């Protein structure tokens, strides 16, 4: 078997995607252990994509990761980056060109945030002015005001801020490849959600080749362009896109790992901008005369109308009872309900559903980057997506059953 | 002669002996540091050597001080050299053991991240591990210094310099009316020196420890 055959074997290769990291039969056996921690891992990671390694605790994710930047030396196998065998290069030099983020952040506690972020550029011998400029640029990128934070120490930051600095530090020397080992694993769920979203936005700009490790399938589905579901010893159970994992899991191990609610999980993959949102909701400007507003509402099939402020931003939901009171003189701005459920087009349907459930109104308002009204997503829209996935899933299982029948027949 | 009279008359002499004493302590501590710090680093990095090194450094503390001072007389003669040799050995254990403890207390995540960023082993030691272990190491140095200031007084028995000379002069002239003054004078000098050095350590600690780990 040639190397290329081995490499081409697992996982989908999307048209146009260029392989960046190729792991070939990577094996690590720790001294004194019966089983290899990583056994013959062969995986191709495409340039500019986030590839997630997901699997239960102890299945070998961290070991696999550390084999790539050679914190652990492989027992056998090869690591090719950009076609070049990394197994025999200088490991320190190699690591300076691979961004590395770990769950515990590992920020240097005795150094300021600026010094932490500037570590790798310093090792690479950049001059002071260039490092300082780069540090400020990166702090901006991860949403931290450089003037406020550059002189602080890690202990003076919250957990979420520390992990932002960890990400900035990994990006400092603009490495083509990043390794992230459960980077958001130790952060509270709300902050984690925010960091995930911000990181995805950041990745749109920087387009790094990223290997992202997590034990959380939901995080994997959210972050991954491609996901390798691992079983023990880093054996790949399935290497596929998130959509395919949800609709066509390779076996029981994978579907068990994805767990119940695969179709609900699909909501994490669909973004508001990708679906048909309702644009027929009645709207009117706050300055419109009440009689006219009422006419708009009556002409629609809706029970509530969305009032927009002068800049086109959603202001309040009002129904016909509110409008009746408005005719008696109450100001429109004091009637109805404030608009609480608001998302931007890049939000996932899961976000939209969350907002919807938390609000008193049966739908979530979609606004553009400036906050101007775009349309609404209601429960019906979301249910349609869920149903589509379930249908696809059932079709897949049916197809699998049909495919097995003739084979069974032959055996008998 | 009252003690106060003694002090005013012997002030210059005590000051000179005090400086000799300080000198003896600083030289011994310098040698102990130059040997102890590397030994501590080796003991931290090499699991096989750790216990032998710690046991070796601990061994000297168990020897009676007079014996340790005398051992060196045949080789180094009398005076300051055997005193310095003995004091350096006494100072070793707290420095070595605190270096090991300090380095071991550095968070594994910090070590891993430093390695993962591409620091060489030496860079990691110099820029990460030693600075982080420093407060613990400095405590070791401080303890050593206090031990050495006291034991240095015995150096006078092997002809060494320092405040011990005054103390033993007093002890030898028992019965003489001014004898207690000499003993108290020398002892007072040792105490003052110990307090001054301890204050210096508080200052050094402040100046050499990053605000991030204070
Ligand atoms: N340094 C080591 N020595 C021996 N065994 C190890 C070492 N590191 C990890 N292992 C073992 O290798 C397996 C995989 O560990 P790890 O890669 O940390 O898993 P994960 O990151 O998926 O939780 C585990 O069984 C673990 O006990
Ligand atoms: Mg792990």
Is residue A249 within 8 Å of residue A54, measured between CB atoms? no
Rounded CA separation A55/A58 (Å): 8
Interchain contact, A120 vs B118, CB within 8 Å: yes
- Verify that A247 and A298 share a domain, yes or no: no
Determine the distance separating the centroid of ligand 1 and the alpha carbon of A67, expressed in angstroms: 12
Question: Does a structural domain hold residue A406?
Answer: no
Question: Does a structural domain hold residue A388?
Answer: no
A39 lines ligand 1 (CB under 6 A): no
Q: Which three-class secondary structure state does DSSP give residue A287? A: coil
A53 lines ligand 1 (CB under 6 A): no
Is residue B78 within 8 Å of residue B96, measured between CB atoms? no
Q: Print the SS3 string covering A167-190.
A: HHHHHCCCCCEEEEECCCCCCCHH
Number of domains making up chain A: 2
Closest residue by CA, ligand 1 atom 25: A58
Question: Does a structural domain hold residue B56?
Answer: yes
What does pTM read for this prediction? 0.79
CA A215 to chain B, closest CA, distance in angstroms equals 19
Q: Which three-class secondary structure state does DSSP give residue A312? A: coil
- Verify that A78 and A213 share a domain, yes or no: yes
CATH number, domain containing residue A29: 3.40.50.300
Model confidence over B131-179: pLDDT tens digits? 999 999 999 999 999 999 999 999 998 888 999 999 999 999 888 888 9
Question: Does a structural domain hold residue B183?
Answer: no
- Verify that A52 and A157 share a domain, yes or no: yes
- Domain with A172 in it: 2-263
A30 lines ligand 1 (CB under 6 A): yes
Determine the distance separating the centroid of ligand 1 and the alpha carbon of A60, expressed in angstroms: 6
Question: Does a structural domain hold residue B151?
Answer: yes
Rounded CA separation A21/A85 (Å): 10
Question: Does a structural domain hold residue A407?
Answer: no
Question: Does a structural domain hold residue A171?
Answer: yes
> Which atom belonging to ligand 1 lies closest to the Cα atom of A182?
21
- Verify that A257 and A167 share a domain, yes or no: yes
Number of domains making up chain B: 1
Q: To which H or E segment does residue A25 belong?
A: strand A19-28
Region of A224 on the Ramachandran plot (φ > 0 left; ψ -120 to 50 alpha; else beta): beta
- Domain with B58 in it: 24-164
Give the pLDDT confidence score for residue A279 in this predicted structure: 85
Is residue A249 within 8 Å of residue A242, measured between CB atoms? no
Question: DSSP string covering A173-241, please?
Answer: T--SEEEEESTTTTS-HHHHHHHHHHHHHHHHHH--EEEEEES-HHHHHHH-SEEEEEEGGGEEEEEE-
Question: Does a structural domain hold residue A409?
Answer: no
DSSP structure class, residue A345: T
CATH number, domain containing residue B32: 1.10.3720.10
Give the pLDDT confidence score for residue A410 in this predicted structure: 45
Print pLDDT tens along chain B (214 aa).
789 999 999 999 999 999 999 999 999 999 999 999 999 999 999 999 999 999 999 998 888 888 888 899 999 998 899 999 999 999 999 999 999 999 999 999 999 999 999 999 999 999 999 999 999 999 999 999 999 999 999 999 888 899 999 999 999 988 888 899 999 999 999 999 999 999 999 999 999 999 999 8
Residue A405's pLDDT band (cuts 50, 70, 90): low
CA B134 to chain A, closest CA, distance in angstroms equals 11
Tokens representing A156? 């003076």
Tokens representing A149? 């934070």
Determine the distance separating the centroid of ligand 2 and the alpha carbon of B128, expressed in angstroms: 24
Ligand nearest to the CA of A54: 1
Model confidence over A367-403: pLDDT tens digits? 988 889 999 998 888 888 777 767 776 777 677 667 6
- Verify that A302 and A242 share a domain, yes or no: no
Residues of chain A found within 8 Å of residue B205, distances taken between Cβ atoms: none
Give the pLDDT confidence score for residue A358 in this predicted structure: 80
Question: Does a structural domain hold residue B42?
Answer: yes
CATH number, domain containing residue A379: 3.10.580.10
Question: Does a structural domain hold residue B205?
Answer: no
Question: Does a structural domain hold residue B45?
Answer: yes
Question: Does a structural domain hold residue A405?
Answer: no
- Verify that A150 and A201 share a domain, yes or no: yes
Residues of chain A found within 8 Å of residue B112, distances taken between Cβ atoms: 71, 102, 106
Interchain contact, A107 vs B112, CB within 8 Å: no
Question: Does a structural domain hold residue A190?
Answer: yes
> Residue A363's beta-bridge partner residues?
A378
- Verify that A21 and A87 share a domain, yes or no: yes
- Verify that A104 and A150 share a domain, yes or no: yes
Question: Does a structural domain hold residue B33?
Answer: yes
Question: Does a structural domain hold residue A393?
Answer: no
- Verify that A210 and A286 share a domain, yes or no: no
- Verify that A98 and A146 share a domain, yes or no: yes
């Amino acid at each position: 078997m040639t190397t290329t055959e081995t490499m081409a074997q697992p996982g989908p290769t999307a048209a146009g995607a260029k392989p960046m990291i190729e792991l070939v039969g990577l094996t690590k056996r720790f001294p004194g252990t019966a089983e290899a921690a990583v056994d013959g891992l062969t995986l191709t990671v495409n340039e500019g994509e986030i590839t997630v390694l997901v699997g239960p605790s102890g299945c070998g994710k961290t070991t696999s990761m550390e084999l790539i930047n050679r914190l652990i030396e492989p027992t056998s196998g090869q690591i090719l980056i950009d076609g070049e065998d990394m197994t025999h290069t200088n490991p320190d030099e190699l690591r300076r060109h691979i961004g590395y983020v770990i769950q515990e952040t590992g920020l240097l506690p005795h150094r300021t945030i600026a010094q932490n972020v500037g570590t790798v550029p310093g090792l690479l011998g950049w001059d002071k002015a260039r490092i300082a400029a780069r540090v400020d640029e990166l702090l901006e990128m991860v949403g931290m005001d450089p003037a406020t934070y550059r002189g602080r120490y890690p202990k003076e930051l919250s957990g979420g801020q520390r992990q932002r600095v960890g990400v900035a530090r990994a990006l400092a020397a603009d490495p083509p490849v990043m390794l992230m080992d459960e980077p958001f694993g130790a952060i509270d769920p709300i902050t984690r959600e925010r960091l995930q979203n911000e990181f995805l936005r950041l990745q749109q700009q920087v387009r790094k080749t990223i290997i992202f490790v997590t034990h959380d399938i939901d995080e994997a589905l959210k972050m991954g362009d491609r996901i390798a579901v691992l079983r023990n010893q880093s054996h790949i159970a399935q290497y596929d896109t998130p959509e395919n994992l949800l609709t066509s899991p390779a076996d029981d191990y994978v579907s068990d790992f994805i767990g119940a609610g695969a179709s609900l999980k699909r909501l994490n993959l669909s973004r508001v901008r990708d679906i048909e949102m309702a644009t027929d909701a009645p709207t009117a400007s706050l300055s419109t005369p009440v009689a006219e507003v009422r006419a708009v509402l009556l002409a629609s099939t809706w029970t509530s109308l969305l009032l927009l402020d002068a800049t086109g931003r959603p202001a309040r939901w009002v129904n016909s009872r509110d409008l009746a009171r408005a005719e008696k003189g109450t100001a429109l701005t004091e009637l109805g309900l404030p608009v609480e459920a608001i998302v931007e087009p890049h939000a996932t349907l899961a976000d939209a559903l969350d907002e919807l459930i938390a609000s008193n109104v049966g739908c979530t308002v979609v606004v553009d980057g400036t906050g101007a009204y775009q349309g609404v997503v209601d429960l019906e829209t979301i249910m349609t997506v869920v149903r589509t996935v379930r249908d696809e899933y059932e079709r897949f299982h049916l197809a699998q059953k049909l495919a097995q029948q003739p084979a069974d027949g032959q055996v008998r | 002669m009252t003690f106060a009279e003694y002090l005013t008359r012997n002030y210059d002499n005590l000051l000179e002996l005090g400086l000799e004493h300080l000198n003896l302590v600083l030289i011994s501590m310098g040698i102990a540091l130059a040997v102890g710090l590397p030994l501590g680093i080796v003991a931290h990095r090499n699991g096989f050597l750790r216990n032998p090194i710690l046991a070796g450094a601990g061994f000297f503390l168990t020897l009676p001080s007079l014996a340790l001072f005398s051992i060196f007389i045949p080789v180094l003669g009398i005076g300051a050299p055997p005193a310095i040799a003995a004091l350096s050995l006494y100072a070793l254990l707290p420095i070595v053991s605190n270096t090991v403890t300090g380095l071991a207390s550095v968070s594994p995540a910090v070590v891993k991240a430093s390695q993962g960023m591409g620091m060489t082993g030496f860079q990691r030691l110099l820029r990460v591990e030693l600075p982080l272990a420093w407060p613990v190491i400095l405590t070791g140095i401080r303890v050593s210094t206090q031990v050495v200031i006291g034991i240095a007084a015995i150096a006078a028995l092997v002809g060494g310099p320092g405040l011990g000379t005054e103390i033993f002069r007093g002890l030898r002239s028992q019965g003489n009316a001014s004898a207690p003054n000499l003993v108290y004078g020398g002892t007072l000098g040792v105490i003052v020196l110990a307090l001054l050095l301890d204050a210096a350590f508080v200052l050094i600690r402040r100046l050499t420890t990053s605000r991030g780990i204070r």
